[in-house]
């Protein structure tokens, strides 16, 4: 029987990307089953029963999903962050997990600039804003997304700074950014952009102490994960500082947390607090194509050639 690849995307890819994914799977003789825009976990639990492989986005793959996935051999997160996969559970079941690093980096970087300009121009309300040229942006994490933002920042005439515990300072300097020795050192700059994964170490790590250090007009940009920010502290910072801005593509799922931040800032015009309605960083035609096709190719290469280049470890 032909292998079945399940495309399970609560937030659907563009139709063009799905056609391209299907072209890859059908060339390999596999069937593509589609579960897009689904509303309940039960739908996913049903769909997974027949899947040999899964392509997901931020969709959660946990023990409950794995318990129903009798045939599953591989799950590929079409994107970068894989905090939605319970890697201990997949490893426990002998299921290989992968991501597609870098494939959506440019899309996220462009959104960072979209949000920065919207904020700097007072959400186009007719008052005088400011320009980004000569301003400083500091990156917490200097992987593919941060580097793509840095490249655009160079075009805007901005100065880049970066801290990444896994990248040597010389390498950061070679890429044209000034290395910063500590996380706290990043918060001396007007813009701080988060590009770290959600881990035990980064969870709630962006706190009041750091945010209060930021210079006038201090702006935190979060296209990473909402949990990296200490939400209660963020509410306090909004109350304490009238100049502070938070530009966020990863609004808290928790409605109360979101409302608390919105109430604290009292920003009716979307200058100081930007929340996208859904995570939009990777939601471009190009990023959908890049991530989706990479995921499909990785699944075919895994089954046909045993390739595990992007395999993840718990």
Q: Which stretches of the chain bind ligand 3PG, using CB under 6 A?
A: 11, 57-58, 79-81, 104, 279, 281-283
Using CB atoms, what's the residue nearest to ligand 3PG?
Answer: 79
Q: How far is the CB of 96 from ligand 3PG (least distance, A)?
A: 18
Nearer to ligand 3PG, 225 or 272 (CB): 225
Nearer to ligand 3PG, 57 or 150 (CB): 57
Q: How far is the CB of 163 from ligand 3PG (least distance, A)?
A: 20
Tokens of residue 186, six digits: 């990043």
Calpha distance 31→123 (Å, rounded): 46
Q: How far is the CB of 21 from ligand 3PG (least distance, A)?
A: 14
Q: From 79, 51, 52, 96, select the one nearest 313 (Cα to Cα).
A: 96
Q: How far is the CB of 215 from ligand 3PG (least distance, A)?
A: 28
Tokens of residue 120, six digits: 């700097």
Q: How far is the CB of 272 from ligand 3PG (least distance, A)?
A: 23
Q: Strand, helix or coil at 27? A: helix
Task: Enumerate the H helices of 218-271 as residue ranges.
Answer: 231-240, 255-265
Nearer to ligand 3PG, 81 or 252 (CB): 81
Angle, helix 15-27 to helix 285-305, in steps of 10 degrees: 10
Surface-to-core class of residue 257, CB atoms within 10 Å of its CB (0-12 exposed, 13-18 middle, 19+ buried) = middle
Nearer to ligand 3PG, 213 or 258 (CB): 258
User: What is the DSSP secondary structure assignment for residue 220, as one 8-state letter?
Assistant: E
Nearer to ligand 3PG, 104 or 160 (CB): 104
Q: From 246, 294, 252, select the one nearest 271 (Cα to Cα).
A: 246
Nearer to ligand 3PG, 25 or 104 (CB): 104
Q: How far is the CB of 37 from ligand 3PG (least distance, A)?
A: 13
Task: Enumerate the H helices of 93-230 as residue ranges.
Answer: 105-120, 144-155, 169-174, 183-186, 208-212
């Amino acid at each position: 029987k032909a292998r079945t690849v399940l495309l399970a995307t609560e937030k659907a890819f563009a139709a063009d990307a799905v056609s391209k994914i299907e072209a890859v799977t059908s060339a390999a003789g596999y069937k593509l089953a589609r579960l897009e825009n689904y509303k309940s976990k039960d739908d996913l639990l049903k769909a997974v029963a027949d899947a040999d492989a899964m392509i997901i986005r931020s969709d959660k793959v946990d023990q409950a999903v794995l318990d129903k996935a009798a045939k599953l051999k591989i799950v590929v997160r079409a994107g970068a962050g894989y905090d939605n996969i319970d890697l201990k559970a997949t490893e426990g079941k002998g299921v290989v997990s992968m991501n597609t690093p870098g494939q959506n980096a440019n899309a996220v970087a462009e959104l960072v600039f979209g949000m920065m300009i919207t904020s700097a121009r007072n959400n186009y309300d007719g008052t005088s804003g400011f320009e980004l040229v000569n301003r400083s942006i500091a990156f917490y994490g200097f992987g593919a997304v941060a580097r793509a933002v840095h490249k655009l920042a160079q075009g805007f005439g901005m100065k880049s700074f970066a801290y990444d515990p896994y990248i040597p300072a010389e390498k950061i300097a070679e890429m044209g950014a000034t290395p910063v020795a500590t996380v706290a050192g990043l918060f001396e700059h007007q813009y701080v952009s988060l590009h770290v994964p959600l881990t035990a170490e980064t969870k709630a790590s962006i706190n009041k102490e750091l945010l209060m250090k930021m210079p006038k007009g201090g702006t935190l940009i979060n296209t990473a994960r909402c949990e990296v920010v200490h939400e209660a502290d963020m509410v306090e910072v909004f109350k304490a500082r009238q100049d502070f801005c938070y530009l966020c593509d990863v609004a808290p799922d928790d409605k109360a947390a979101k409302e608390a931040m919105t109430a604290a800032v009292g920003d009716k015009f979307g200058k100081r607090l930007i929340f996208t309605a859904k995570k939009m960083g990777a939601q471009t035609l190009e990023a959908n194509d890049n991530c989706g096709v990479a995921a499909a190719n990785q699944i075919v290469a895994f089954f046909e050639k045993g390739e595990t280049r992007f395999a993840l470890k718990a």
